[in-house]
Amino acid sequence: MAAKVYVVYYSMYGHVAKLAEEIKKGASSVEGVEAKIWQVPETLPEEVLGKMGAPPKPDAPTITPQELAEADGILFGFPTRFGMMAAQMKAFFDATGGLWREQSLAGKPAGIFFSTGTQGGGQETTPLTAITQLTHHGMVFVPVGYTFGAKMFNMDQVQGGSPYGAGTFAADGSRWPTEMELEHAFHQGKYFAGIAKKLKGSA
């Protein structure tokens, strides 16, 4: 059976959704891996989202906590809020108590990708603080490290991402993931899927 990799994200303005699409492509490029994109439930009313200028949500299905247990590996994506994951993703994790009680996610590989507003806005603190969620579930954190190679050291342009995972800078919302950032996301998906496949095969 194919290894199931779930790409689970929250995106208010679309930046994380864009990374998620590339991560799915990367994961799907690995033979024997079935990748699927999900989004977590929105917690804000439509009226508030409208005032914040948030566009309509993508067509990705909304996941329930219980559906996480079906995956062989999960990549979580979210924007930052003051250097930590957005409240919508935290609310989703808060609803996984039943999975924690049964340790349904223990031993499953997990990765993280993210979007921040500025260079000092949380490209490391956002994933670092998110690891606590994975730890309590007994998940195996799989960072992308420096497997992206020389491009991780590029200084010719502003570039999101870190050894923790792929990332982008949204600035005031007008900046979108660059080609380099999308390549990093594709690489993370492919790299992570390869590890998830190996772990499933050795189970």
Q: Rounded to whole angstroms, how far apart are CA atoms 60 and 40?
A: 10
Q: What is the mean pLDDT of residues 93-109?
A: 98
pLDDT of the residue at 31: 97
Closest to 18 in 3D by CA, of 73, 55, 67, 44: 55
Q: Could you report the per-residue pLDDT of 53-67, keeping only the tens digit for each? A: 999 998 999 999 999
**Rounded distance, CA 121 to CA 161, Å?**
12
Q: pTM for the full model? A: 0.96
For residue range 149-166, list pLDDT tens digits in order: 998 888 888 899 999 999
Q: What is the pLDDT of residue 14?
A: 94
pLDDT at 156: 87
pLDDT at 203 over 80: no
Task: Determine the 3-state secondary structure of 124 from DSSP.
Answer: coil
Among the listed residues 52, 92, 45, the one whose alpha carbon sits nearest the alpha carbon of residue 68? 92
Long-range contacts of 173-182 (CB under 8 A, 24+ apart): 173/13, 173/53, 176/15, 176/18, 177/15, 177/18, 177/19, 177/22, 180/151, 180/154, 181/19, 182/18, 182/19, 182/22
Task: Give pLDDT, residue 192.
Answer: 98
pLDDT at 157: 87
Containing 110, the helix (H) or strand (E) segment is strand 109-116
Q: Name the token pair of 60.
A: 């990705």
**pLDDT at res. 121:** 81
Task: Answer yes or no: is pLDDT of 17 > 90.
Answer: yes
Cα–Cα distance measured from residue 84 to residue 122, given in angstroms and rounded to the nearest whole number:
7
Which residues fall within 8 angstroms of residue 16, CB to CB, at 6 or more apart?
A: 9, 10, 77, 78, 79, 113, 114, 115, 168
pLDDT of residue 73: 98
Residue 85 banded pLDDT, cuts 50, 70, 90: very high
Check residue 137 and give its pLDDT.
98
pLDDT at residue 122 in the model: 83
Quick: pLDDT tens for 175-189.
999 999 999 999 999
Q: Which fold has domain 3-199?
A: Rossmann fold (3.40.50)
Per-residue model confidence (pLDDT) at position 37:
98
pLDDT of residue 201: 86
Which pLDDT belongs to residue 158?
85
Compute CA 160 distance to the chain's CA centroid, rounded to the nearest angstrom.
14
Residue 174, number of CB atoms within 10 A of its CB: 7
